[in-house]
Structure formats: structure tokens, C-alpha cells
Amino acid sequence: MSARFVTVLCCALTLGARYVPRAAPTLDNGLARTPPMGWNSWNHFHCDVSAQLIKETADAVVASGMRDAGYRYVVIDDCWQVARDRTGRLVADSARFPGGIKPLADYVHAKGLRFGIYTDAGRRTCQGRPGTYGSEEIDARTFAEWGVDYVKEDWCNAEGLDPPTQYATFRDALAKAGRPIVFSICEWGSNHPWEWGPRTGNLWRTTGDISDRWASMIAILDLSSQYALAARPGAWNDPDMLEVGNGGMTDDEYRAHFSLWAVMSAPLMAGNDVRAMPPATREILGNKDVIAVDQDSLGVQGMLVQEPGIDLQVWSKPLARVANGDRDVVEGDRTHRPCSRARPVGPQRPRGVHGAVLRHRPGARRCDGADHSRHGRLKLGREDSNLQLPG
């Protein structure tokens, strides 16, 4: 029995995880042996993408030290494409991408980075641009010719289509195109992608879109962590791109977001404007200890393991790099429920709040004027370490 299998089995038995995978085969394309790291345009820029933005971002990923910290893929999300030409090839917006996509990929590669792009398995993308349905082979070939290293395929405008079938069609087209390309499935967890995703792609979204708010981040944590046992090297649950640095959470909350994504072995795709990062954002995204937890070679997704007291949660992730089978743990305070839903919290988990653990400091009030200054603080440490929140 392999050490990894024993570890996963122990986790499953100990934690009573909701999802226990059958021995599903994985896509064997040799890629994403650790969760992919990089940057994606969507969370901050939405449709406001251009060759200039991508070049400046690639420059900043290098200059900020992010590339050397492990961020590799620079991915343009939706809105780069406007039409198909007479031969059926996708055409980039010529005003925003004057030279087309190939020179941009070359630029990114010359920086020691990899280049990613977005399409949609349906007839049109979520922003109404041409989708890949019916053009899988030509799109895969085009992307390979352009030097694409990572494709995210979305699921808008795909009514009546079967996700496992459509994503497998594009997987096969990518394989036929002959270039190693990380395949990122984005169907929002609607059709149990943790069951067929491992044999189809390198990562699959488990939920709808994240937004730049604590409640959204925590809701996604609770959902995505249910499928921990599906994750393994080459095949990862994707709880969506990071919001770190986008302004809707405090720096402590962003630290929590980043640490929790690392414990979940999530892809770490920065989603901020890396050209203009305040020092705190740079420090969070560049935290080598947290990144090492995410990128650990054992590839076991961490899980919630203890609720040792009212308001406290402990998540644990087995690590290959830690001797004696110890785990790194992350613990923290999740207090940030809207006042309208606030109520006294006893030793029982509050009904309707899955996995919620709230920690109140003596004297802190929870509604108007509540002391939320400490919420989101996490501590990353060894399993045997003192689990007190930082003072």
C-alpha cells in the first residue's frame, strides 16, 4: 500500500469526508503535478484585457519576484476573442491585441513564464464571444500553434450539452494537437466534476464564481473542501482564482484566504493588478511557507480536522516534506457573519451554517460595533504546535 493511499484513507476515515472517490483514472498528460500557480485577468480586469495589460503583467510578475516564488501561468480570461475567420480560426480583438495572440505568447515565454488562454465549451463564452462547441479540433490546434500552455474552458451557453462528454472532446482535441497544455475545467461544480474531472482535466472548478468578500471566500471553502479526496497530483479541485489584493477584504482576511487555499491544495492564480501591488499584497502572495504547503509533492488536499472549542477551527494537510508524517495545520477565526444572522453560539455547530466555527474574544460584541479586527487571522504551524491565535 503506498504512503499516499494510506494517508488519504486515514483522512477519509478520520474525517468522514462526504466524497470518497472510486479508483478513478486520471488524465495522464504529465502536467500540474502540483497545483498550477499563475495569474488570471478576470477577477480584477473582467473584459478590459489587452496585449499591453498582459505584457505589463508578465513584466510585473517577474519584477515582483512572483515568478521566482512559483507563479508561472499568465492567463487571459474572457473577451480576447471577437470572431472566427473564413477558415474557422478564432480571431482576437485587433484593437486590443494588434499583433494577434502568438507574439503575446512569445513575449510571455521570453520572460520565463507560460501563457494561458480562455474559451468556452458552449456556443458562446459567458461574455458572448465565440465558443468552442463544434470547433474543438481547430481551436486546440490554433492554441497549440500560438504556444498556449494552459486553457481554461468555461460552461456558458452550453444548454443541452453533457459536460463530461464536451470536456472529454476538448481534452482529446488538445492531446491530438500535440502540445502539453494544462486543461482547466470551469463548469462551476454543477455536474459533479470531482467525479469525471480527474480523467478529463488537470483542475476543475467546484463552485460558482468567487467574489471579493469574506463570506464568499468562506462559502467556497466549505463547498470545495467536501471533495478533498478527489484531488491528487495532476488533478485538483479549483475553488476559483484568488481575490488577494483586490480591495474587498482586509489584509488579515486575504492572509486567511491565501492560507486556506494552500491547505486546500488549490491552484494559486492571483487575480489582482500585480503592476500596482502594495507591500502587504506582495508579502501575502509571496509567502514562501504558505506556497510550500500548497505545492507539497504528496498532493493530498487538507481538510477540516478539529473544532476544538467554540469558534475555533483547525484544518490539516499532510505533507511529504514534513518528517514523521506530521501535518501543517492552519487554524483561525471565521467570525464575520452578518449581524442579522448573528446569535449566541454554544458548543454545538449553529444550524444551517455548515462547518462554521466562530471565535469571540471575551468582551467582543458581534453586531454593530463588533470587534472584527481579529477575524480572518490564521496561524500556520505544525500539528503539535501551540494553536493559540496570535496575540
Binding-site ranges for ligand GLA (CB under 6 A): 42, 77-78, 125-127, 154, 186, 209
The closest residue (CB) to ligand GLA is 126
Residue 301 CB, nearest distance to ligand GLA (Å)? Answer: 21
In whole angstroms, what is the distance from residue 376 CA to residue 195 CA? 32
Active site amino acids: 154, 209
The neighbouring-strand residues paired with 84 are 90
Indicate if the alpha-carbon torsion angle 26, 32, 33, 36 is positive or negative: negative
> Cβ of residue 351: shortest distance to ligand GLA, in angstroms?
30
Nearer to ligand GLA, 269 or 312 (CB): 269
CB 274 within 8 A of CB 244: no
**How many Å apart are CA 106 and CA 113, to the nearest integer?**
10
CB of 12 to ligand GLA, least distance (A): 29
Helices (H), the chain: 3-15, 42-45, 51-63, 66-69, 102-110, 136-146, 163-177, 193-196, 214-224, 251-263, 279-285, 288-294
In the sheet where 312-318 sits, what is the strand order? 303-309, 312-318, 327-332, 378-382
Q: How far is the CB of 310 from ligand GLA (least distance, A)?
A: 36
CA distance 21 to 86: 45
Helix (H/G/I), strand (E/B), else coil: 200? coil
Nearer to ligand GLA, 181 or 186 (CB): 186
Nearest distance from residue 299's CB to ligand GLA, in Å? Answer: 24
Measured from the CB atom, is 189 or 376 closer to ligand GLA?
Answer: 189
Q: Which is nearer to ligand GLA, 205 or 375 (CB)?
A: 205
Contact 141, 89 (CB under 8 A): no
The nearer residue to ligand GLA, 209 or 311, going by C-beta atoms, is: 209
